[in-house]
């Protein structure tokens, strides 16, 4: 290789390196302060793992009570139709869970639901889901969960 050509090759390689570094720096600067990604579904602690919802999704009395609890404590964040876009919390990151998202909801088992409503996200307090165990009894928690579980069904039937 001639000296001139080698110099040009080297200059090109340096340029590529600099561009890569600049890109990485820009990406780092632009990173969100709090991750917007849905958290993965962490397995619930062992004491929750095998819990079963005592109410069925057709239990009218449980649903009526669950709806009252939802409309008092949950809708401001999770939205009146359960789509995660409540008036109180339009901009929070990550946003409140969209209960009409069939894909996510179908991966949440009873123990997971109960754990999250009772304890919130104790492992990460930047996720603004309160721990309702201080306010609601276990029975009330199951009823509001039962009501929330119907949002995906309702969204499905509206799409048809
Ligand atoms: C202050 C706003 C706020 C209120 C009020 C609220 N939530 Fe949440 N909730 C959130 C946010 C934000 C998340 C999502 C956290 C995340 O994904 O990082 C969440 C997540 C959840 C989850 C976990 C679902 C998942 O995707 O893992 C359940 C279950 C839930 N909420 C139920 C309820 C119930 C039941 C109530 C009322 C008793 C309620 N929430 C009230 C903000 C709220």
Nearest-CA residue for atom 37 of ligand 1: 74
128 in contact with ligand 1, CB cutoff 6 A: yes
Which among 90, 128, 109 has a CA at the least distance from the CA of 44?
109
Taking residues 40-51, what's their average pLDDT? 93
Which among 131, 132, 159, 130 has a CA at the least distance from the CA of 66?
132
Give 128: exposed, middle or buried? Use CB within 10 Å, 0-12, 13-18, 19+.
middle
Nearest-CA residue for atom 6 of ligand 1: 74
Same domain, 25 and 52: no
Nearest-CA residue for atom 7 of ligand 1: 129
Residue 154 has pLDDT above 90, yes or no: no
In a domain, 41, yes or no: no
Same domain, 26 and 98: no
143 in contact with ligand 1, CB cutoff 6 A: no
79 in contact with ligand 1, CB cutoff 6 A: no
Q: How far apart are the first and last CA of the chain?
A: 69
Same domain, 99 and 149: yes
Per-residue pLDDT of 73-126, as tens digits, reads: 999 999 999 999 998 766 788 899 999 999 999 999 999 999 999 999 988 888
Give the nearest ligand 1 atom to 41 CA.
27
Q: Taking the model in full, what pTM does it have?
A: 0.80
118 in contact with ligand 1, CB cutoff 6 A: no
Q: Which domain holds residue 114?
A: 46-159
Q: Is the peptide bond before 99 cis (omega within 30 degrees of 0)?
A: no
In a domain, 87, yes or no: yes
């Amino acid at each position: 290789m001639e000296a001139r050509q080698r110099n040009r090759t080297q200059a090109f390689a340096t340029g590529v390196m600099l561009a890569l570094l600049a890109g990485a720096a820009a990406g780092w600067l632009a990173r969100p302060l709090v991750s917007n990604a849905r958290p993965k579904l962490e397995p619930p602690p062992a004491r929750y793992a095998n819990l079963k919802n005592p109410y069925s999704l057709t239990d009218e009395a449980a649903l009526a009570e669950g709806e009252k609890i939802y409309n008092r404590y949950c809708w401001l964040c999770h939205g009146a139709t359960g789509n995660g876009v409540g008036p109180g919390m339009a901009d929070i990151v990550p946003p409140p869970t969209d209960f009409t998202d069939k894909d996510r909801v179908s991966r949440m088992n009873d123990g997971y639901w109960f754990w999250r409503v009772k304890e919130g996200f104790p492992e990460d307090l930047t996720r603004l889901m309160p721990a309702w165990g201080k306010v609601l009894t276990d029975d009330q928690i199951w009823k509001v969960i039962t009501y929330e579980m119907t949002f995906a069904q309702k969204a499905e039937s509206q799409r048809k």
